[in-house]
Chains A and B, each alone.
Chain A
Amino acid sequence: MSEPASTSTKKIRVVVAKPGLDGHDRGAKIIARALRDAGMEVIYTGLHQTPEQIVETVIQEDADAVGLSILSGAHMTLVPRIVELLAEQGIDDVVVTVGGTIPSDDIPELKRLGVAEVFTPGSSTQAIVDFIRGAVAAR
């Protein structure tokens, strides 16, 4: 069984981003490294990114997916803003994932806004790699 032509040669490009003032970057860095080890092209934005900066990076880097890491509790302000900005820019095919300290009650709303998946503490890196690979292929 052969791979669909669109995914057989091009590396998946993922932006791993830290929005807002949150400085907890242990998880984001581990994911960035795991995605890179899995053969993806990873752009790690570093800390203290505004929603505008993140969307700009997604556009400039022609990203297939963006992973937002938030452990500050500010996700219900930052994620909707990022999703809104992506839509404003006409970007509708970037897979948006969120990771961090996200109460389960907030997950349905985030998904309703267009977040493809939310990874809470305890998620395995392989599960995240597999999800992104699958979600990008399925677009």
Chain B
Amino acid sequence: MYATTAMGGNGCRPTAGPSGINIRNSDFLASDTMATTHPPTTEAEWRAAYGLQAERDVPFTTLSGAPVKPLYTAADAPSDPGHPGVYPYTRGIYPSMYRGRLWTMRQFAGFGTAEETNERFHLLLRHGQDGLSTAFDMPSLMGRDSDDPLCLGEVGREGVAVDTLDDVQTLFDGIDVGDVSVSMTINAPAIVMLAFYVAAAEARGIPAERLRGTIQADILKEYIAQKEWCFPVDPAMRLCGDMIEWCSRHMPRWHPISVSGYHIREAGSTAGQELAFTLKDGLTYVEQAVARGLHVDDFAPRLSFFFNAQIDFFEEVAKLRAARRIWARELRETFGARDPRSWRMRFHTQTAGVSLTAQQPLNNIARTAIEALAGVLGGTQSLHTNSFDEALALPTEEAARVALRTQQVIAHETGVTNTIDPLGGSYFVEALTDRLEHEAYDLFSRIDELGGMVEAVKQGFPQREIADAAFELQRAYDSGERILVGVNDFVDDGDEEIPVLRIDPELERKQIGRLQAVRARRDAGEVERTIAELRAQAARAGANLMPALLACARAHATEGEIVRALQDVFGTYRETPVF
């Protein structure tokens, strides 16, 4: 495990130390003797001394497989990282960063019906969380109602069940959505959920322009990684464009998209692929919005991003810094954006779910803390930390609290927020930032050769890259080349049992009851009329669907009814899997 010191017999000449005592190379343990005997003061001297020592038998690569040198010096990082709040923002998008304001602690939550999730929202706000983030169940994410036969067993399991405007009202009961910023993680039917949210706020007297928050809505990454879809690619892209356009006019404080790398990474991509595919997706949305007649500065300031914070600490920090630099350059130079707000990439970070283990789950607290620190040192605007029971189930209250406290410890105890971009200027971090930037541009070129990102997705290019990277990482774990503590090394026979959240199956029946009650008391004629109008608008290329969707929402049409009406016009999607 530590540097073997058996070199003494291999012709290494003993040297005399300052006190005249012979010192053998076997005394040169990596950790202690450098400073006390003959400290190398020049690179050549270091290199010679290093060369005499054995290295540990491990790959010395990042999690993404990139080789890492034993030492980085000024020669490795010639570029000046610049200043925070100044183009190209490598060191941070704001001049004061956490000196002025900490990142938003925004923990993803949702399960059961809107009532249970509303309770969890209140609990998290009481514990000091300062933004909400909504996890929806699979039926809601896939645009299906809770009583759809395909949804049996799935209601309220991976998130909260939302079928109607009424569910959204209950979800935010007692929460002033004109004041609290709310993120909603939903993609294929995002425009429907946005309509529900806007209509629900409006019913409480809160106009759309006051609403702060984000809807994820990044459909490209669904085809690439998260695999939640309702429609074929082209109409799905149109819906994204409709949201970006409508929000640019009516919701100036809202992020109509959160272009995501998190899921791409969770699916098994490398850091470079996460960076490249995410940014290319973002640039594609910009292209399409400009193509429909919007000026880039009209909407780019409200775009946002979402990255993974994986366990290879420095690679993640570098990735986030490279992301800001690339985005700023592309928006200014390629798209000609003039408003500096268009150049600034603001993003949310989530620690890597897939890095957490079912074995010895308390170890996950350490993993999450390290990953969260990478997100913070990478300059994130908001952060979600996973709970230690992530590999087993949705979080218990205790696990959710520990996850939030982890952020609070980082923010208030570690001192890392005392100065901006503390790792800036680190030879290693700047070299990694440069390398990831180059890797991203290489992938951009390959994607462009395929005809752009939409075409690349249709051809399965990013999907294949991800499957290959995932397989390679698994191979490294299976062979023991890469260690996963508690899983392929440092294994315990008796694993600690921890309490695990169980979703009461009764909640599915309860939700179906709520849904049926809404159907019973609404004006069926109004539903029919608004749905028919939606279909007509959907069939018109160039019609923005938000107004028609708002009308459906106000009429208490269900999510499933709305999505089915759109599918009547757009069709559905079936993946040709690559593995």
Residues of A at the B interface (CB closer than 8 Å) are 20-26, 29-30, 32-34, 44, 46-48, 50, 72-74, 76-78, 101, 103-105, 120-122, 124-126
Contacts and interface: CB of A to CB of B under 8 A. Distances in A.
A101 B391 contact: yes
Contacts of B151: 21
A21 B139 CA distance: 7
Contact of A29 (B139, B266, B467, B503): B467
B219 interface: no
B484 interface: yes
B49 interface: no
Nearest to B508: A77
Interface residues on B, range: 35 or more
B500 A77 contact: no
Nearest to B149: A50
Most chain B Cβ neighbours within 10 Å, of A44, A124, A126: A124
Contact of B357 (A32, A76, A121, A124): A121
Nearest to A78: B153
The 9 closest A-B pairs by CB, nearest first: A77-B153, A23-B227, A29-B579, A73-B157, A21-B138, A74-B153, A122-B487, A121-B358, A46-B577
Contact of B478 (A76, A77, A120, A125): A125
Contacts, number: 97
Interface of B: 138-139, 141-142, 144, 150-154, 157-158, 226-228, 266-268, 354, 357-359, 391-394, 467, 470-471, 474, 477-478, 484, 487-488, 497, 500, 502-503, 574-577, 579
A36 B83 CA distance: 51
Q: Is the interface of B mostly helix, strand, loop or mixed?
A: loop
A32 B579 contact: yes
B226 A23 contact: yes
Given A21-B142, A103-B502, 16 more contacts: A23-B227, A26-B268, A29-B467, A29-B470, A30-B579, A33-B467, A34-B471, A34-B474, A44-B577, A46-B574, A47-B227, A48-B142, A77-B152, A78-B153, A124-B478, A126-B478
Nearest to B229: A23
16 contacts: A20-B138, A21-B141, A23-B227, A24-B227, A34-B471, A46-B574, A46-B575, A46-B576, A46-B577, A47-B575, A50-B150, A73-B157, A77-B152, A103-B392, A121-B391, A124-B478
A46 B229 CA distance: 14
